[in-house]
C-alpha cells in the first residue's frame, strides 16, 4: 500500500515536472520570438536611423517596441526562472517524498520484523509448554505403566507362589495317598516307538523281542495311506505308504541297547532310512506295573525263556506270581490309602 502511494506521488511529481518543463519550453520559445522581434526592431531602428533620422515618431515607436521587447524578455526570463524553480521544487519534493516513503517502508519492515519475532517467541513458548506437558504426561504414563507392571509382576509372583503351594499340597496329599503304589524317582523303564510297513515282518519282530524277553508289552497301531517326508542327500523325499505300522513297546532301561540291536538286525535290508526308533524314559507310573515290566524283561537262560514251550513251570510261576503279587499289593495299598483318607477326614471333623 505504501509503495503504491509512493508510486502515485512520484507519478504526480513527474507530471508536475513535465508540465513545468513544457511551460519553460513555451516561455523559451516566446523569449526567442521576442528576441527575434527585438532584433528585427533594432534592425528596423537602425534602418530608420540611417534612412529617416527625422522620424522621431518612428524612433519613439521603436523605443516603445524595444521597451516592450525588453519587458517581454524580462517576463520570459522570470517565467523561465519560475518554471526552473518549480521544477527544482518538484524534484526536491519528489526526493523528499521518496526519502519519506523509504523511511516509512523501513519502519513498516521493522514493525513486521518485531511482530514476527514476537510471534516466533510466543510460538516457541507454546511449543516448549506443550513439550513440557507432553513430557510430564509421558512420565506420568510411564510411572503408571511401571506401577501397573510392578503390580502385575507381584500378582504373578503371588499366583506362582500360590500355584506352587497348591501343587506342593496336592503332591503331598498324592504322596500320602499313593506313596506305596506310585513311583516318584527313577523308574528304570522306557517306552520305545518304532515304525514299519510290513505286517508279517512286524509280527516276526514282535515274536523275536518277546522270545528274548526284550519287551514287556507292545501295541501295534496300523494307519492306511500315510505320507512320510524326510531329507535325503539334501533333497526332500516324500513317500506314500499304503500300510503304516507303529509299534509302541515297554522295556527296562537295561535292555534298551539289546532291543535296538535286535531291531537293527531284523531290519538290515530296509531302505533309507534304515529304521526310525524313539526311546523315551518313563518318568513315573504305577510301582506294580513298573516292577512287572522289569520282571518281564529280565534276561533269562534259554531253557526258561518266555516263549520256550519246554519251560512251563517257569512260565506258570512267572505268569501267576507277578500279576497275583501285583494285584495283592495294589489292593492292600488301596485299602491302606482309604483308611488313611478316612482317618484324615475324621480328624478334620473333630477339629471343626
Summarised one tens digit per residue, pLDDT across range 287-321 is 888 899 999 999 876 554 444 444 444 444 334 33
Using an 8 Å Cβ cutoff, are 277 and 196 in contact? no
Does residue 179 belong to any structural domain of this protein?
no
Q: What are phi and psi of 183, to 5 degrees?
A: -80, 135
Does residue 237 belong to any structural domain of this protein?
yes
pLDDT tens-digit readout, 1-23: 666 777 676 777 777 788 778 88
Does residue 157 belong to any structural domain of this protein?
no
Mind giving me the DSSP string for 126-162?
HHHHHHHHHHHHHHHHHHHHHHHHHHHHHHHHHHHHH
- Say what the pLDDT of residue 327 is: 43
- Say what the pLDDT of residue 343 is: 59
pLDDT tens-digit readout, 328-339: 444 544 455 455
Which of 262, 223, 257, 254 minimizes the C-alpha distance to 240?
Answer: 223
What is the Cα Rg of the chain in Å?
A: 66
Sign of the C-alpha dihedral computed for residues 326, 328, 330 and 336 taken in this order: negative
Query: Distance of CA 123 to CAs 31, 113, 137, 222, Å?
Result: 71, 15, 21, 80
Answer yes or no: do 94 and 193 share one domain: no
d(CA 13, CA 10): 5
- Residue 27: which residues within 8 A CB-CB, separation 6 or more? 76, 79, 80, 83
Does residue 172 belong to any structural domain of this protein?
no
CB atoms within 10 A of CB 215: 23
| Total domains, the chain | 2
Answer yes or no: do 310 and 215 share one domain: yes
**Residue 340: band (very low, low, confident or very high) from pLDDT cuts 50, 70, 90:** low
Q: What is the mean pLDDT of the chain?
A: 78
SS3 content of the chain, % helix, strand, coil (to 5): 70, 15, 15
Answer yes or no: do 229 and 343 share one domain: yes
Answer yes or no: do 109 and 27 share one domain: yes
Does residue 40 belong to any structural domain of this protein?
yes
Q: Is the pLDDT of residue 68 over 60?
A: yes
Answer yes or no: do 196 and 344 share one domain: yes
**Residue 209: band (very low, low, confident or very high) from pLDDT cuts 50, 70, 90:** very high
Answer yes or no: do 338 and 197 share one domain: yes
Does residue 161 belong to any structural domain of this protein?
no
Answer yes or no: do 112 and 201 share one domain: no
Answer yes or no: do 109 and 9 share one domain: yes
Answer yes or no: do 110 and 210 share one domain: no
Answer yes or no: do 215 and 342 share one domain: yes
Does residue 153 belong to any structural domain of this protein?
no
Does residue 181 belong to any structural domain of this protein?
no
Q: Which residue has the higher pLDDT, 210 or 35?
A: 210
Q: Which of 99, 116, 133 is the last residue of a domain?
A: 116
Q: Which of 56, 88, 116 is the last residue of a domain?
A: 116
Q: Which of 56, 89, 116 is the last residue of a domain?
A: 116
Percent of the chain with pLDDT over 90: 17
**Residue 54: band (very low, low, confident or very high) from pLDDT cuts 50, 70, 90:** low
- Say what the pLDDT of residue 333 is: 45
Q: Is the pLDDT of residue 58 over 50?
A: yes
| CATH classification of the domain holding 199 | 3.30.70.120
Task: Give 321's DSSP letter.
Answer: H
| CATH classification of the domain holding 74 | 1.10.287
Domain hosting 47: range is 2-116
Answer yes or no: do 112 and 193 share one domain: no
- Say what the pLDDT of residue 279 is: 93
Amino acid at each position: 500500500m505504501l509503495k503504491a502511494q509512493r508510486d502515485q506521488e512520484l507519478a504526480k511529481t513527474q507530471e508536475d515536472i513535465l508540465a513545468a518543463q513544457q511551460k519553460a519550453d513555451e516561455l523559451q520559445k516566446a523569449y526567442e520570438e521576442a528576441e527575434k522581434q527585438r532584433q528585427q526592431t533594432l534592425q528596423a531602428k537602425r534602418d530608420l536611423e540611417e534612412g529617416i533620422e527625422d522620424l522621431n515618431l518612428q524612433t519613439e515607436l521603436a523605443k516603445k517596441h524595444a521597451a516592450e521587447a525588453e519587458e517581454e524578455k524580462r517576463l520570459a526570463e522570470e517565467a523561465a526562472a519560475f518554471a526552473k524553480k518549480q521544477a527544482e521544487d518538484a524534484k526536491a519534493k519528489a526526493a523528499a517524498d521518496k526519502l519519506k516513503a523509504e523511511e516509512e517502508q523501513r519502519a513498516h519492515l521493522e514493525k513486521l520484523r518485531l511482530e514476527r519475532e514476537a510471534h516466533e517467541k510466543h510460538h516457541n513458548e507454546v511449543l516448549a509448554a506443550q513439550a513440557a506437558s507432553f513430557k510430564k504426561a509421558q512420565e506420568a504414563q510411564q510411572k503408571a505403566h511401571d506401577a501397573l507392571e510392578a503390580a502385575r509382576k507381584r500378582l504373578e509372583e503371588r499366583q506362582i507362589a500360590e500355584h506352587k503351594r497348591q501343587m506342593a499340597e496336592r503332591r503331598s496329599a498324592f504322596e500320602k495317598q499313593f506313596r506305596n503304589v506310585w513311583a516318584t524317582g527313577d523308574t528304570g523303564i522306557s517306552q520305545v516307538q518304532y515304525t514299519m510297513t510290513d505286517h508279517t515282518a512286524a509280527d516276526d519282530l514282535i515274536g523275536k523281542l518277546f522270545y528274548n524277553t526284550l519287551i514287556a508289552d507292545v501295541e501295534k497301531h496300523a494307519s492306511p495311506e500315510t505320507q512320510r517326508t524326510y531329507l535325503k542327500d539334501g533333497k526332500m523325499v516324500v513317500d506314500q505308504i499304503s500300510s503304516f505300522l507303529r509299534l509302541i513297546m515297554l522295556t527296562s532301561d537295561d535292555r534298551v541297547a539289546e532291543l535296538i540291536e535286535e531291531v537293527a538286525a531284523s531290519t538290515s535290508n530296509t531302505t533309507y532310512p534304515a529304521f526310525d526308533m524313539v526311546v523315551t524314559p518313563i518318568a513315573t507310573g504305577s510301582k506294580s506295573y513298573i516292577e512287572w515290566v522289569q520282571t518281564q524283561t529280565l534276561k533269562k537262560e534259554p531253557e526258561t525263556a518266555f516263549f520256550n514251550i519246554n519251560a512251563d513251570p517257569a512260565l506258570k510261576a512267572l505268569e501267576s506270581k507277578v500279576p497275583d503279587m501285583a494285584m495283592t499289593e495294589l489292593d492292600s495299598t488301596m485299602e491302606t490309602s482309604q483308611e488313611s483318607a478316612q482317618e484324615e477326614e475324621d480328624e478334620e471333623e473333630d477339629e471343626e
